[in-house]
Structure 1
Amino acid sequence: MIKLACVNQKGGTGKTTTVLHLSYILGRKGLKVLAIDLDPQAHLTSAFGIDPDTVEVGMDDVLESYTQKGERTKVTDITVPITVGGAEIMLAPSNAYLERLNITLLNALARESVLSSVLEDVDSFDVVLIDCQPTLSILTLNALVAANYILIPVETKGLSVQGLLMLFDTIEQVKEKLNRNLQILGILPVRYQKRLKSAQKNLERLSSFSDVVRVYPPVPESAAFEEMIEDKKTLYDVESTTAKRALKIYEQVASDIVKLVR
């Protein structure tokens, strides 16, 4: 089972969108996919068409139960089947209550490894995709410890190389002290506007990292993508050239994940 965390400590970098698209693309390829919403803002839950305010039992309950004695709430106890893009995905939803775990986990034994313990009780999936919150919080740290691989979406028009270097440093520390098996699948440039010189320059700056980590082709920006999610459509449902280019890139990432599974 491959566990991939979609991580960037900066907000607005397309983490949720990336997890959403990869979920149904991998599902269409015949893989059993579990998508975990590990962000208290619950954008992934919303993107899959569920109102976070209606989530009565979510990831906060799962994680909290694994820090206490007694009966545990397994992640499979809270999963919701979602049909999207011609594939059925299992979603572990979240809501705003997940934020309190950033406090309660600080006092938990082996606090960085709670999610890892949760996923040890999961064996019915080929791929677990984890959508992380846009901070290097204890929740994000749990994702890094639990994951085999990391995918880093990076917004090309608002690139912070310093922030990216800080993330790399955190990943190296996690590898050294908590998760020796952690690997970076790649950097995924997103929201690329070719006509902007700043975006072109930032893409060149990202390309300089290609000596140490894979840098995927940039996913183009389109206002239609946000509307598409709101309308519960997928990249397969949109005929625009931009959508087809984006789909090709996400399929490339998905193909790399399939190779790891098989």
Structure 2
Amino acid sequence: MEEVVRHLPNKQILDIFAKRVLAKKTLTKYQIVFQENYTGGTPTGEKIPLKLYILNRLDPNNEPIPVKCLKLCKRVIAEGYPQNSIICNSKSKVTLRFQLILLVEYEDNSFDIITLPNNLSHRFQYDPNITKAIVQGTVIDSNGVPILQRQSTTVPYETLIINSNGVNDYPSFTYSVTIPFSEFDNALKKCELQDPTLQSYILLKNLSYDIDVIDVVNVEATNIVTSQTVTLSTSEVDFSLFEDIIDKLGIDQDVIIEGIPEAECED
């Protein structure tokens, strides 16, 4: 190619404006939907699957019809996400806001749609018009307030929170991971760190999930519509969502090359 360019007539020095990638970090199959493990009532900073108690259907005799399987139909990413930011020229923070649409198959081959986190509740905030799954009190507390979930045992550290507009009004999840520059494949020079155009660019790939339907569990709950205590027949399900997160650190830069423009305007 170099020989071809060398012998082309009317070649020019061209100034190409480009985003130059300086360093990259790939987080492979990262669990982005999880809950924090607790031991003796104390959070451990370790991730475990999000535990769902999905309401079973009832047959004409009010006998429960358990969940057979779940499938992820769609992950809806909020407008403007993923977001990325550079923190003190030492860390890259990636933030993703989304909701999940799941297809639930019951043992009688009937189906239902659950939207997470919209259809989640604490057992003391059960609303038959909204609730399709109960979560543990370490995810949403008894007052209906979501609790921040953390992974703080291994760098890079992660968080997951259910966004809330009030009790049983949970429009989305927000996941974030903070990656120190020391975790990237190339060390940045001081002049590159001080470049005002230094940015983080995010690529998401290979979305996958894991589902384990465990058992039928009766959950004692409070119906907030009738203010009555009820027993809910549920299916205990462990759910995890995974994704590859590729974070590229780059700057704006002029690249000088020798060649011929594909087309030029003429006066």
State the TM-score bracket (shorter-chain normalisation): under 0.3
Higher helix share: 1
Whichever of the two has the greater Rg, that structure is 2
TM-score (norm 2): 0.23
Specify which structure has the bigger relative contact order, considering alpha-carbon pairs within 8 angstroms and separated by 6 or more residues. Answer: 2
Higher strand share: 2
